[in-house]
Chains A and B, each alone.
Chain A
Amino acid sequence: MEDLGLWVIPLAILGGAIRVSTPFLFVSLGEVLTERSGRINLGLEGTLVFGAMSAYAIAYLTGSPWLGVLAAAAGGALFGLVHGLICSLPRVNDIAVGIAMMILGMGLAFYFGKPYVQPVAPDLPSISFGWWSDIPQVKAALRVNVLFLIGAVLAFAMWWMFRATKVGLIIRVVGDSTDAARAMGLQPALIRTSATAAGGAFAGVGGAYLSLFYPGSWNEGISSGQGLMAVALVIFARWNPIACFGAALLFGGAGALGPTLQSVGVSEGYYLFFAAPYVLTLGVLIVTSSPTRAMTGAPGELSITK
């Protein structure tokens, strides 16, 4: 085998970016859908963890990882529905409800997930795009999971939906102005709740990826803030699904930095590299936010940008 030298690092980061980005992609797509309708769901971290648990449990019990993904989507939709319904009450703070749903989601996931920490559930299939190469590192980097491809397609589909379909226009109107939506005879609360439920389903699928492919096991430390970072990523991506796809890859690469350096034997400052995605997220937020201007592309009814 030829020696790749330092090329190992960018190659592993590229592979890592593809592997690590999928949960970011699904959660951020879900959050785009929710926020475009004018509501924020900070609880997607809890939904992600609950999705990871339910996918793992159902995949283990039925032997089918796809049923696990379905269960995660259903569980996520239920969490989104509850969040949406509670936020429809007048004078309830949607940011605080998100925090509460995050605590409840993690609590329920750990509560019901305890018996599934030991057993091994079947993995989701992946497609190898590295057949043309003899180098194992290249092959490993290009082993792409089916959910990543589905997520990529969904990103473009959602972009097209917002741009060119009636449903997309309705969601955008509700998100930009409750009054305008009412004048058009739309029901803002109903549409927001549906968009929040659908967004929750996306986040649940992101969780299924965590437990059924990478890292591919269920434990209480399965997600360390990916759901929250994905929410921040939506602001960075300016509520544009295709930009979310790019941002998810970038964040995935940052998340892969620590494990990659560890795998090539760099152990000095491992925990600092582990913090890279959080630092990157914070940096991106600082650079892209503004105290005076309204953010370009931000839905008008969104509580965090008002």
Chain B
Amino acid sequence: MTDQTASNPLATPSPNGFLGTLARRSEAVILPLSALLVGFAAFSIFLSLQGKSPTEFFSLTYRAGFGTAFSWQNTLSRTAPLLFAALCVALPARLGLVVIGGEGAIVLGGVAAGAMGVIFTNSSGLIAVPMMVASAIIFGALWIGSVGALRHYRGVNETIASLLMAYIAIALMNHLVEGPLRDPASLNKPSTAPLAENLRVGDIPGWEVHWGLAFGMLSCVLAWVLIDKTTWGFAARIVGGNMRAAQVQGLPVGRLIVGFTALGGALAGLAGFFEVTAVHGAANASLATGYGYTGILIAFLARHNPLAIIPLAILLAGFEASSGLIQRRMDLPDATTLVLQGFVFISILMSDTLYGRFKIFAPERWRST
């Protein structure tokens, strides 16, 4: 093929030139975006069959999710936990693991932060806040890291194990906030004692969105650097590509698996910390609202690329932020968002079969027509 290109360089652009690189790169953008649109189209058909207007649905989503400064604040506040939750899926996924129990690490991280806040309630924020952050990170890392360890050292399927551990984490949280850690003053909704004012994490100045968003985005950028620019990330990608080859090469597969799952868990734990200190003010059942599960979809939509997680998390947060208004205006059940997520998820997974099928994305094959 190289001969043909050399003999007639003017007929087609060089596969290694600007256009070639653009074509190669654009497959990873155009295919997922098309799959997203196909998912939206399928959902629109579903709505039309119910006699509901898809146009109204999407215009309401735009208005309530992205239309005004207030709706942006709402959307971005919900984006923060989704960024962390998606990273908890994307990091292990680079090693070929499907870990879906991030919800468990969010919940436990939140409870750990809430408990630390109660223990250190009279100390200065300079001691208490780092303790809260550390405990959230440690519990999250232990929870998901042990899923990775079980996978590598015992051969336990990580998908099933992580989801089981999410159920166990929620049961533990219910036990703790209804029992040992319960604030007697919380009647309708059992919670830990409310955090002291100096332990609450505030908003990013001028944004009215809590600091979780900034740290979430920073984590995405750092995760991208880790995966794409460091030797650890390179080793992890080799493990994900071919486990046996990685072992033959003498890569520390076990340490990579435990490290990446623990890192994902630590980030999910951090999501719990921000939910408790910036949003709820105490640990309670509001921690388990499904951010972990939406994070799975975001990670798959982003094809486990940490930078792509940022815009997609904002998009899905917008859908969640607008669901209340849509329920009231269009008389739709609250599960509508879940149905939409299901359609989009299936569409994106089906698009996996299309990679490498289109010649336009493969410059080295341009000449052969």
A complexed with B: yes
Annotate B302-341 by CB proximity to A: 1 below 8 A, 0 otherwise. Answer: 0000000000000000000000000000000111111111
Q: How far is the CA of A274 from the CA of B163 in the complex (A)?
A: 16
Q: For A105, list chain B residues within 8 Å (CB).
A: 342
Q: For B178, list chain A residues within 8 Å (CB).
A: 271
Q: For B296, list chain A residues within 8 Å (CB).
A: 99
**B249 at the A interface (CB under 8 A):** no
Nearest chain B CB to A7 CB, angstrom units:
28
- 7 residue pairs from A and B, CB less than 8 Å apart: A107-B341, A220-B335, A228-B163, A232-B160, A269-B175, A271-B174, A272-B175
B160 to A, closest residue via Cβ: A232
B332 to A, closest residue via Cβ: A111
Annotate A91-128 by CB proximity to B: 1 below 8 A, 0 otherwise. Answer: 11101110111011111111100100000000000000
Whether the pair B353, A228 counts as a contact (CB closer than 8 A) is no
**B136 at the A interface (CB under 8 A):** no
Whether the pair A111, B168 counts as a contact (CB closer than 8 A) is no
Q: Which of A103, A106, A289 has the most CB of B within 10 A?
A: A103
**A42 at the B interface (CB under 8 A):** yes
> Which residues of A247-276 have CB atoms within 8 Å of chain B's CB atoms?
268-272, 274-275
A280 to B, closest residue via Cβ: B164
**A153 at the B interface (CB under 8 A):** no
**B300 at the A interface (CB under 8 A):** yes
Whether the pair A89, B353 counts as a contact (CB closer than 8 A) is yes
Checking A271, A285, A292 against B157 with a beta-carbon cut-off of 8 angstroms, the contacting residue is A285
Whether the pair A42, B355 counts as a contact (CB closer than 8 A) is no
Whether the pair A97, B172 counts as a contact (CB closer than 8 A) is no
**A278 at the B interface (CB under 8 A):** yes
Whether the pair A281, B338 counts as a contact (CB closer than 8 A) is no
Whether the pair A289, B157 counts as a contact (CB closer than 8 A) is yes
Q: How far is the CA of A104 from the CA of B337 in the complex (A)?
A: 10
**A296 at the B interface (CB under 8 A):** no
Q: How far is the CA of A88 from the CA of B100 in the complex (A)?
A: 23
Whether the pair B333, A92 counts as a contact (CB closer than 8 A) is no
**B211 at the A interface (CB under 8 A):** no
**B120 at the A interface (CB under 8 A):** no
**B171 at the A interface (CB under 8 A):** yes
**A291 at the B interface (CB under 8 A):** yes
Q: For B339, list chain A residues within 8 Å (CB).
A: 104, 107-108, 111
Interface-forming stretch among B147-155, B194-202, B269-277?
B147-155
Given contacts A103-B338, A107-B339, A269-B179, contact A286 B150 (CB under 8 A): yes
Q: How far is the CA of A109 from the CA of B163 in the complex (A)?
A: 20
Q: How far is the CA of A198 from the CA of B340 in the complex (A)?
A: 26
Q: For A274, list chain B residues within 8 Å (CB).
A: 171, 174
Q: How far is the CA of A100 from the CA of B341 in the complex (A)?
A: 8
Whether the pair A111, B335 counts as a contact (CB closer than 8 A) is yes
A258 to B, closest residue via Cβ: B171
Checking A91, A103, A110, A291 against B345 with a beta-carbon cut-off of 8 angstroms, the contacting residue is A103
Nearest chain A CB to B96 CB, angstrom units:
10
Whether the pair B164, A100 counts as a contact (CB closer than 8 A) is no
Q: For B41, list chain A residues within 8 Å (CB).
A: none
Given contacts A114-B333, A272-B171, contact A86 B346 (CB under 8 A): yes
**A225 at the B interface (CB under 8 A):** yes
Whether the pair A91, B352 counts as a contact (CB closer than 8 A) is yes
**B58 at the A interface (CB under 8 A):** no
B353 to A, closest residue via Cβ: A89
Whether the pair A225, B164 counts as a contact (CB closer than 8 A) is yes
Whether the pair A286, B154 counts as a contact (CB closer than 8 A) is yes
**B40 at the A interface (CB under 8 A):** no
**A149 at the B interface (CB under 8 A):** no
Whether the pair B171, A291 counts as a contact (CB closer than 8 A) is no
Whether the pair B297, A224 counts as a contact (CB closer than 8 A) is no
Whether the pair B297, A275 counts as a contact (CB closer than 8 A) is no
Annotate B347-362 by CB proximity to A: 1 below 8 A, 0 otherwise. Answer: 0011011010000000
Using A110-B338, A235-B157 as known contacts, list a sample of 19 further A-B pairs with CB atoms less than 8 Å apart, ordered by residue number in A: A86-B350, A90-B353, A91-B353, A97-B349, A99-B100, A99-B296, A100-B345, A100-B346, A103-B297, A110-B335, A111-B336, A232-B157, A275-B167, A278-B168, A290-B155, A291-B153, A291-B154, A291-B155, A304-B157
**B98 at the A interface (CB under 8 A):** yes
Annotate B66-103 by CB proximity to A: 1 below 8 A, 0 otherwise. Answer: 00000000000000000000000000000000101000
Nearest chain B CB to A237 CB, angstrom units:
14
Q: How far is the CA of A96 from the CA of B100 in the complex (A)?
A: 10
Whether the pair B333, A103 counts as a contact (CB closer than 8 A) is no
A83 to B, closest residue via Cβ: B346
Nearest chain B CB to A20 CB, angstrom units:
16
Checking A96, A114, A220, A291 against B98 with a beta-carbon cut-off of 8 angstroms, the contacting residue is A96
**A150 at the B interface (CB under 8 A):** no
Nearest chain A CB to B41 CB, angstrom units:
15
**B28 at the A interface (CB under 8 A):** no
**A279 at the B interface (CB under 8 A):** yes
